[in-house]
Structure 1
Amino acid sequence: METQVQAAPRSAISRSIESDLDSYLDAIADATAIFREAVDAYLQGGSEGSCWRQAGKISEHLRTLDDMQQRLETGVRPQSALGDLVAEMIDPLTGVSRLLKDMKRQITGFAIESGFSSPRRCVPAYLVPDLQELSDEVCAAVDALVESYRPSLLWWEQPFSGEAEHGVSWYENQADRLSMQILKKIFADDSIDLEVKLPLAQLVEEIDRVADQAEGIDRELRARRMAGLPTAAVRDSH
Structure 2
Amino acid sequence: METQVRVAERSAVSTSIAITLDGYLDGVADASMIFRSAVDAYLREGSERACWQLARRIADIVRTLDDMQQTLEMRHVAQSARGAVGSAMFEPLTDLSRLVKDMKRQITGFAIECGFTRCGRRVPAPLVADVQELTDEVCAAIDALVEASRPGPQGWQQPAADADGRGVGWHEARADRLSTALVRRILADEALEVKARLLLAQFVEEIDRLADQAEGVAGALQTRSMGGSGGGAAVAQAH
Measured at CA, do residues 80 and 149 of structure 1 come closer, stay the same or move farther in structure 2, by a change above 3 Å? Answer: farther
| RMSD over aligned Cα atoms | 2.6
Measured at CA, do residues 161 and 95 of structure 1 come closer, stay the same or move farther in structure 2, by a change above 3 Å? Answer: closer
Q: Which residue of 2 aligns with 1:81?
A: 83
* Structure 2 gap ranges (5+): none
Task: Report SS of the residue matched to 1:230.
Answer: coil
Q: Which residue of 2 aligns with 1:171?
A: 171
- Offset of 1:118 from its aligned partner? 6.5
- Offset of 1:161 from its aligned partner? 6.6
Counterparts of 2:133 and 2:29, CA distance in 1: 18
- Offset of 1:229 from its aligned partner? 3.6
> Are the counterparts in 2 of residues 51 and 111 from structure 1 also a CA contact under 8 Å?
yes
Q: State whether structure 2 residue 45 is matched by structure 1 residue 45.
A: yes
TM-score after normalising by structure 2: 0.86
Counterparts of 1:233 and 1:53, CA distance in 2: 41
> Are the counterparts in 2 of residues 21 and 153 from structure 1 also a CA contact under 8 Å?
no
Task: Report SS of the residue matched to 2:57.
Answer: helix
> Are the counterparts in 1 of residues 45 and 120 from structure 2 also a CA contact under 8 Å?
no
- Offset of 1:78 from its aligned partner? 2.9
* Structure 1 gap ranges (5+): none
Counterparts of 2:26 and 2:71, CA distance in 1: 15
Counterparts of 2:110 and 2:13, CA distance in 1: 43
- Offset of 1:62 from its aligned partner? 0.6
Measured at CA, do residues 120 and 222 of structure 1 come closer, stay the same or move farther in structure 2, by a change above 3 Å? Answer: farther
Measured at CA, do residues 161 and 218 of structure 1 come closer, stay the same or move farther in structure 2, by a change above 3 Å? Answer: closer
Q: 1:1-37, CA deviations, whole angstroms, 9 ceiling, x for partnerless residues?
A: 9654543333233222211111111011111111111
- Offset of 1:235 from its aligned partner? 8.4
Measured at CA, do residues 109 and 186 of structure 1 come closer, stay the same or move farther in structure 2, by a change above 3 Å? Answer: same
Q: Which residue of 2 aligns with 1:155?
A: 154
Task: Report SS of the residue matched to 2:149.
Answer: helix
Counterparts of 1:46 and 1:73, CA distance in 2: 43
Q: Which residue of 2 aligns with 1:206?
A: 206
> Are the counterparts in 1 of residues 36 and 135 from structure 2 also a CA contact under 8 Å?
yes
- Offset of 1:132 from its aligned partner? 0.6
Q: Which has the higher contact order (CA 8 A, sep 6+)?
A: 2
Counterparts of 2:149 and 2:137, CA distance in 1: 19
| Identical amino acids, percent of aligned pairs | 54
Q: Which amino acid aligns with 2:221?
A: L
Number of equivalenced pairs: 232
- Offset of 1:40 from its aligned partner? 0.9
> Are the counterparts in 1 of residues 153 and 232 from structure 2 also a CA contact under 8 Å?
no
1:67-146, aligned counterparts within 5 Å?
A: 67-76=67-76, 77-84=79-86, 87-117=87-117, 122-146=122-146
Task: Between 170-179 and 43-52, report the one with greater CA deviation.
Answer: 43-52
> Are the counterparts in 2 of residues 113 and 121 from structure 1 also a CA contact under 8 Å?
no
Q: 1:103-145, CA deviations, whole angstroms, 9 ceiling, x for partnerless residues?
A: 1111111111111237796211111111011111111111111
Task: Report SS of the residue matched to 1:94.
Answer: helix
> Are the counterparts in 2 of residues 18 and 154 from structure 1 also a CA contact under 8 Å?
no
Task: Report SS of the residue matched to 1:39.
Answer: helix
> Are the counterparts in 2 of residues 18 and 153 from structure 1 also a CA contact under 8 Å?
no
- Offset of 1:163 from its aligned partner? 3.6
- Offset of 1:70 from its aligned partner? 1.6
Measured at CA, do residues 81 and 144 of structure 1 come closer, stay the same or move farther in structure 2, by a change above 3 Å? Answer: farther
Q: 1:39-61, CA deviations, whole angstroms, 9 ceiling, x for partnerless residues?
A: 11001234322211111111111
Task: Report SS of the residue matched to 2:72.
Answer: helix
Measured at CA, do residues 189 and 6 of structure 1 come closer, stay the same or move farther in structure 2, by a change above 3 Å? Answer: same
> Are the counterparts in 1 of residues 157 and 221 from structure 2 also a CA contact under 8 Å?
no
> Are the counterparts in 2 of residues 123 and 200 from structure 1 also a CA contact under 8 Å?
yes
Counterparts of 1:121 and 1:129, CA distance in 2: 13
> Are the counterparts in 2 of residues 138 and 211 from structure 1 also a CA contact under 8 Å?
yes
Q: Which amino acid aligns with 1:106?
A: Q
